[in-house]
Amino acid sequence: MWLAIRDIEDKRARARAKENGLPANERKAPGRLVEGAVVQGWKQALGSLALAYPERVNPYLT
pLDDT of residue 13: 83
Least reliable range by pLDDT among 28-32, 35-39, 54-58:
35-39
- State percent of the chain over pLDDT 90: 10
Does residue 38 come out as left (phi exceeding 0), alpha (psi in the -120 to 50 range) or beta?
beta
Q: How far apart are CA 52 and CA 49, in angstroms?
A: 5
Is the pLDDT at 36 greater than 70? The verdict is no
Residues in contact with 50: Cβ distance below 8 Å, sequence separation at least 6, in sequence order: 57, 58, 61
Average pLDDT over residues 35-46: 76
SS3 62: coil
Query: Distance (Å, rounded) from C-alpha 38 to C-alpha 20?
Result: 23
